[in-house]
Structure 1
Amino acid sequence: MATSKIKCPKCKTTFPLEPRRASLPTSLYHYTSFEVLTNLLKSDRETDGAYNLHFWFSNPLQTNDKREVHFFNEKLFETKKGKELEKQIDDIKNKVGNPFTLSFVHQKKSCSNEIPMWKMYGNNFKGVRLKFNFKKLQNLFQNKNGYDLILCEYLNKNQMDVITRNIRNFKDRELEDIYKKAVSYKMNEWSYENEWRIVFWTNEITKVEYRTNDGRLYMPIKIPLDCLDLIEIGPKADQDAIDGSLKLIKEKIGDVTENHFDILKSKLQIGYV
Structure 2
Amino acid sequence: MSNTPNRLYHYTSFGAFVHIFDYQQENFTKNNWINVRLGNPMNMNDKNEITFFEKSFFTGSNISNEIKEFYTEMKEKSPHPYIFSLIHHIGNKWYPKDEIPMWFMYGDNGKGVRIAFDFKMVEEFCEKNHYLLKRCQYVNQNEMQDIARGHRNIVKKLDKNHWNTKLEDIYIGSLCYKTKDWEYEQEYRIVAFGNHNEKYDAYSEEEQYLHIPLPLKAVKEITVGPLADELLVKRCIELIRNELFAILPDLKPFDIKKTKLQIR
Using the size of structure 2 for normalisation, the TM-score is 0.81
User: Which residue of 222, 231, 256 maps to 2:222?
Assistant: 231
Range with greater deviation from structure 2 (177-186 or 85-94) = 85-94
Q: Distance in 2 between matches of 1:165 and 1:261?
A: 49
Which stretch of the first structure deviates more once superposed, 39-48 or 97-106? 39-48
Identity rate, percent: 32
1:24 aligned counterpart, secondary structure? coil
Alignment of 1:61-80 (within 5 A): 61-75=42-56
Match status 1:141 vs 2:141: no
Q: Deviation per CA, 1:123-162: give whole Å up to 9, x if none.
A: 12221110101111111113x4541111100011222233
2:7 — aligned with what? 27
**Alignment check: 8 A CA contact 1:256 1:262 kept:** no
SS at match of 1:247: helix
Counterpart residue type for residue 116 of structure 1:
P
Superposed, which structure 2 residues align to 1:154-233 within 5 Å?
A: 154-164=138-148, 169=153, 170=155, 171=158, 172=163, 173-202=165-194, 204-207=195-198, 210-214=200-204, 215-233=206-224
Partner of 2:261: 269
Q: Residue 53 of structure 1: which of 28, 34, 46 is its match?
A: 34
Per-residue CA distance 1:32-78 (angstroms, 9 max, x = gap): 11110111122224497443211111111111110121224445578
**More displaced, 217-226 or 91-100?**
91-100
- Counterpart-to-counterpart distance in 1, 2:32 and 2:256: 21
**Aligned CA distance change for structure 1 residues 191 and 45 (closer, same or farther; 3 Å):** same
- Structure with the bigger percentage of helix: 2
**Cα pair distance change 1:229/1:177, threshold 3 Å:** same
Structure 2 CA distance for aligned equivalents of residues 90 and 155 of structure 1: 24
* Stretches of structure 1 lacking an aligned partner (at least 5 in a row): 1-20
Pair 188,256 (structure 1): closer, same or farther in 2 beyond 3 Å: farther
Deviates more, 1:83-92 or 1:232-241: 83-92
Q: More displaced, 67-76 or 91-100?
A: 91-100
Q: Give the distance between the partners of 1:125 and 1:86, measured in 2 at CA.
A: 44
Deviation, 1:264, is 2.4
TM-score, length-normalised on structure 1?
0.78
Correspondence for 2:86? 104
Q: Would you say the 8 A contact 1:106–1:195 is kept in 2?
A: yes
Q: Which runs of 5+ in 2 are unaligned?
A: none
Aligned partner of 2:212: which letter? Answer: I
Comparing 241-250 and 60-69, the one that deviates more = 241-250
